[in-house]
Amino acid sequence: MEGKPYCFASACAFWPSSLTFLILALSCPLATSASISTLNSSNENIDRLALLSFKSLVSDPFRALASWNHESLHFCRWRGVTCGNQSHLPRVAALELESLDLFGKISPSLANFTFLRRLHLADNRLHGPIPQELGLLSHLQRLNLSSNAVRVSFNNLGGVIPPSIWNLSSLTILELQSNHFTGSIPPDMGITLPLLEELNINDNQFDGPLPISLSNATNLINIQLYKNRFTGTIPRGLGSLQKVDHFDVCYNQLVARNAVEWGFLDDLANCSSLKYLQITSNKLGGFLPRSIVNFSTTLEWFEIDDNHIAGSIPAEIGNLVSLTSVRMNSNLFTGKIPATVGNLSNLQIMDLSRNYFTGEIPATLGNLTRLLELRLHSNELQGPLPASLGNCPLELLDLSVNKLNGTVPKEIMAIPTLTRFLNVSYNSLEGSLPFEVGKLKNIGKFDISGNRLSGTIPRTLGDCQQLDTLWGCPSSEPASCPTPSSGKRHLSRKLVAAISVASGIICLILLLSLFGIHRWIPKSKKEAHAADAIKVPHMMVTYAELLRATDGFSSANLIGVGSFGSVYKGLLDYEEYQLVAVKVLNLQQRGASRSFVAECEALRNVRHRNLVKIFTACVSADYRGNDFKALVYEFMPNGSLEKWVHPEANEQGQTRALSLIHRLDILIDVASALDYLHHHGPEPIVHCDVKPSNVLLDQDMVAHVGDFGLARFLNSSPVEASQRSSSTSMIFKGSIGYVAPEYGVANKVSVEGDVYSYGILLLETLTGKRPTGASFMDGLSLPRYVEMALPERVSEIIDPNLHLEKGEAANGHIRGTDYIRDKAVECVSLSLRIGIRCAKESPQERMQMQDVISELTAIRNGWIHH
């Protein structure tokens, strides 16, 4: 194969246009003729043939290399070719073919460009290894092969870099980022590449230790090694790199466990040009050395987030006056935030969240007149919310999950730039919201839940122009937004009117977990990142916490298995210990991820006593690095309605049975939940999977509708709808027996579909008969069966576990058993009629949930007062 021109026939399939075949037709004969043409032994011709050989190995969909034709121009005038004079002969000095969508392999013939200084082939679709021969180009100064992996993931440069490349002593720029290169960097690399200024190998699969000779490459300006698999410690001696301005080793597996291994930071403090120091997402532990106070005042970015670093921030950090971005979040830092941070007058971003900082928020932060983003959430900060923050041009302020007390200062509500997120939830803030809250006209997200705030949101916040989410978790009934000016899209923009912040839905957490407040994490590094997330003290629950809570997802804790996953009981240390139900999505199951999103979306906005409350979610990876998604709900000690309607006898042969009053209450609860979802929630939602196993009973036998894995928003535009959950490929699937007949023909869900399912559920609850039972075949359905028994034979079809004669007189009247029994049968009979009217074949004939509620309530009241 080597050196022999051939076409990538198989590649044709990837190209979108018919242009493909034209290109093949053009390039193949060329290549062939080049390789068999008489060779002119002059050096100049060697270059020309090498260029043609290069061309022969790539496809060129945009005909960028059309000028590369041996009959026309001199090759020095071919596109991308620059020549220099060597012994009075023009020779190729640079080949610059970036971003031309070239597809194919790098030709080994390049080795014949003896005088090549620059080779830039970045941002194409080249694949395969770098030819060994490239190491022969002793004059090569700049090699840029970046970004050949980002377009189509299966086309990329990969494999081990030819060792000879590390011997190209003239090299000043080595850019190999965003490919799939493997192997480790030779330890003496800094000695063999003494002139190197730029080492950019980000986003590959290099492993092994960082080369200890890095310190010998004293011309280095830019060291970019992020997103690889480097291990070991960061080498000493980097203090000799006086020109280095960028040192980025984020997303690797580098360690520092003690002062000795942290020595590199002392060295870096000697780098007088250092501007960007980024060590995010590694395995740095131990204590942060105080030597950071000696960093060059040129330092602009200091990012050591997402490690396991302990210690405190030295007060002298205030000397690093050029700092614009400080990220130390997701570590184990303690102590106070020093008041001297107020001297960092260039600071724009400060993220100290997810640590154990104590003390007060320094009022001096108000001196930061460029501060755009302040994240201090999930710490142990106390005291007041400083009014001085009102001086900062903040776009985002997140102080949630701390122990802040006092009132919300009006100055904060009046920050005009606050457009992205204001979050003070889960503190101990008191009093009423200041009138100034009305000035937050452009805020995108606003969360004040989990405090002791009282009163109402002032009317001034009425326009809610931008407001997507107001997480107040108050009262249970959200009031609607006054100005849905532009139609349906505004339906979601609702205001929660009253704020008695007592209830415990951790809305924010769900919000954060779903909509990625956490920084963008490169996908291929998820494993490393997720493992690190385990230490995160608050907010999103981690895989490890769920593992602990459920005793390793033990089968003893398994309480149910559904279509998209398994549900476990668990004891979670969440604010305080509490029982939870953890649904672990089986991501191998097609549609499971979509169901996760659907459920989160649905439960995110709804709040009703008869809906299952969701506490939090977990989007992570398990210890093997597999994607892991779970939802955490309040635990329902009495299990599902299904288990009560179809009880299994216990060891004593007894079955537990629901009384009639329980059944009626449950049916009213379920109807109330559906009525809320359909008509009174922030957005109309169709549940799509109403059935007894999705109705859960709490301590007091109050029913809660759960499992929103198939839920749909009715008013979403088709585009939104498909983004949300229901791409066209997802054919609706409810549960057999409960799914409305019209769903079988049209792939469109409706409120009436839920009403049908509810009707079946009602009939099942009172008859104890499953709609899928063996008797219901050949045209006989559960509704038909019930209808046929009405009115005379009702007592024959009533659930035998519903012991009517036992006397359920709630009001203590002493009546004859016959009387009670007759009354009960009458109640059941009336109720069954409601079920039949809900489960009508024709959607238009079905009842409205509202009417179901009032009729059932009347039946129930009649029964308890009989």
Binding-site residues for ATP, please?
A: 583
Choices 267-275, 466-474, 485-493, 844-852 (CB under 6 A): range interacting with ligand NAG: 267-275
Which DSSP string corresponds to 756-822? HHHHHHHHHHHH---TTSTTS-TT--HHHHHHHHTTTTHHHHS-TTS-GGG---TT-----HHHHHH
- The correct pick among 33, 43, 82, 164 for binding ligand NAG (CB under 6 A) is 164
- Contact between 364 and ligand NAG per CB under 6 A: yes
CB 453 within 8 A of CB 478: no
Site string for ligand NAG, 587-616 (x = CB under 6 A): ------------------------------
Closest by Cα among 740, 694, 707 to 843? 740
Of 342 and 438, the one with the shorter C-beta distance to ligand NAG is 342
- Smallest distance from the beta carbon of 582 to ligand NAG, in angstroms? 34
- Smallest distance from the beta carbon of 7 to ligand NAG, in angstroms? 18
Which DSSP string corresponds to 593-610? HHHHHHHHHHHHH---TT
Non-local (6+) Cβ contacts of 685 within 8 A are 602, 606, 677, 678, 708, 711, 712, 713, 714
Of 131 and 835, the one with the shorter C-beta distance to ligand NAG is 131
d(CA 590, CA 859): 43
CA 740 vs CA 696, 752, 773, 837, 852: distances in Å: 22, 8, 17, 13, 18
CA 481 vs CA 463, 484, 508: distances in Å: 8, 7, 20
Amino acid at 562: G
d(CA 412, CA 645): 54
Residue with smallest beta-carbon separation from ligand NAG: 239
Q: Which of 60, 447, 689, 799 is catalytic?
A: 689
- Contact between 44 and ligand NAG per CB under 6 A: yes
Which DSSP string corresponds to 202-254? -SSEEEEEPPGGGGG-TT--EEE--SSEEEEEPPS-GGG-TT--EEE--SSEE
- Smallest distance from the beta carbon of 171 to ligand NAG, in angstroms? 12
Angle at 112 between CA 108 and CA 116, to 5 degrees: 105
- Smallest distance from the beta carbon of 325 to ligand NAG, in angstroms? 19
- The correct pick among 363, 534, 701, 789 for binding ligand NAG (CB under 6 A) is 363
Q: Is 532 a catalytic residue?
A: no
Contacts 24+ apart (CB under 8 A), 325-329: 325/300, 325/301, 325/349, 325/350, 326/302, 326/350, 326/351, 326/352, 327/280, 327/302, 327/303, 327/351, 328/302, 328/304, 328/352, 328/355, 329/305, 329/353, 329/354, 329/355, 329/375
- Contact between 173 and ligand NAG per CB under 6 A: yes
Of 293 and 714, the one with the shorter C-beta distance to ligand NAG is 293
CB 54 within 8 A of CB 108: no
- Contact between 240 and ligand NAG per CB under 6 A: yes
- Contact between 242 and ligand NAG per CB under 6 A: yes
Question: What burial letters (b/e) apply to 435-468, b meaning 16+ CB within 10 Å?
Answer: ebbbbbbebbbbbbbbbebeebbeeebeebeebe
Of 146 and 353, the one with the shorter C-beta distance to ligand NAG is 146
- The correct pick among 108, 706, 734, 768 for binding ligand NAG (CB under 6 A) is 108
CB 541 within 8 A of CB 550: no
Binding-site entries: 583
Site string for ligand NAG, 389-408 (x = CB under 6 A): ----------------xx--
- Contact between 291 and ligand NAG per CB under 6 A: yes
CA 664 vs CA 169, 445, 469: distances in Å: 85, 40, 36
Q: How many CA atoms lie within 13 A of 78 on its CB side?
A: 30
Parallel, antiparallel or unpaired: strands 142-144 and 445-447 = unpaired
Give the DSSP H or E segment for 685: strand 685-686
d(CA 121, CA 683): 51
Q: Between 817-838 and 782-789, two packed helices, what is the crossing angle to 10 degrees?
A: 140
Q: Is 87 left (phi over 0), alpha (psi -120 to 50) or beta?
A: left
- Smallest distance from the beta carbon of 306 to ligand NAG, in angstroms? 24
- Smallest distance from the beta carbon of 108 to ligand NAG, in angstroms? 4
- Contact between 293 and ligand NAG per CB under 6 A: yes
- Judged by CB under 6 A, the chain residues 649 through 668 that form the site for ligand NAG are none
Q: Is 713 left (phi over 0), alpha (psi -120 to 50) or beta?
A: beta
Residue 575 tokens read as 């604010």
- Contact between 123 and ligand NAG per CB under 6 A: yes
Site string for ligand NAG, 129-158 (x = CB under 6 A): ----x----------x-xx-----------
- The correct pick among 37, 42, 297, 417 for binding ligand NAG (CB under 6 A) is 42
Q: For residue 297, how many other CB atoms are within 10 A of its CB?
A: 10
Of 198 and 642, the one with the shorter C-beta distance to ligand NAG is 198
- Smallest distance from the beta carbon of 3 to ligand NAG, in angstroms? 5
- Smallest distance from the beta carbon of 376 to ligand NAG, in angstroms? 16
Of 272 and 715, the one with the shorter C-beta distance to ligand NAG is 272
- The correct pick among 20, 33, 43, 45 for binding ligand NAG (CB under 6 A) is 45
- Contact between 237 and ligand NAG per CB under 6 A: yes
Residue 323 tokens read as 């700092």
- Judged by CB under 6 A, the chain residues 772 through 791 that form the site for ligand NAG are none
CB 609 within 8 A of CB 476: yes
- Contact between 432 and ligand NAG per CB under 6 A: no
- Smallest distance from the beta carbon of 255 to ligand NAG, in angstroms? 21
- The correct pick among 96, 98, 411, 787 for binding ligand NAG (CB under 6 A) is 98
Number of residues that bind ligand NAG (CB under 6 A): 59
Parallel, antiparallel or unpaired: strands 118-120 and 89-96 = parallel
Non-local (6+) Cβ contacts of 748 within 8 A are none
- Smallest distance from the beta carbon of 162 to ligand NAG, in angstroms? 7
Choices 234-242, 489-497, 518-526, 540-548 (CB under 6 A): range interacting with ligand NAG: 234-242
- Judged by CB under 6 A, the chain residues 329 through 358 that form the site for ligand NAG are 339-340, 342-343
Of 104 and 478, the one with the shorter C-beta distance to ligand NAG is 104
- Contact between 706 and ligand NAG per CB under 6 A: no
Residue 657 tokens read as 């049975």
- Contact between 96 and ligand NAG per CB under 6 A: no
- Judged by CB under 6 A, the chain residues 180 through 199 that form the site for ligand NAG are 191, 198
Of 392 and 581, the one with the shorter C-beta distance to ligand NAG is 392
- The correct pick among 67, 294, 334, 722 for binding ligand NAG (CB under 6 A) is 294
- Contact between 167 and ligand NAG per CB under 6 A: yes
- The correct pick among 53, 330, 469, 831 for binding ligand NAG (CB under 6 A) is 53
Choices 286-294, 371-379, 588-596, 673-681 (CB under 6 A): range interacting with ligand NAG: 286-294
Residue 224 tokens read as 């970019």
- Smallest distance from the beta carbon of 166 to ligand NAG, in angstroms? 7
Which are the catalytic amino acids?
A: 689
Interface with ligand NAG by CB under 6 A: which residues? 3, 39-40, 42, 44-46, 49-50, 53, 84-85, 88, 98, 108-109, 111-112, 122-123, 133, 144, 146-147, 163-164, 167, 173, 175, 191, 198, 213, 215-216, 237, 239-240, 242, 267, 270, 272, 290-291, 293-294, 318, 339-340, 342-343, 363-364, 366-367, 382-383, 388, 405-406
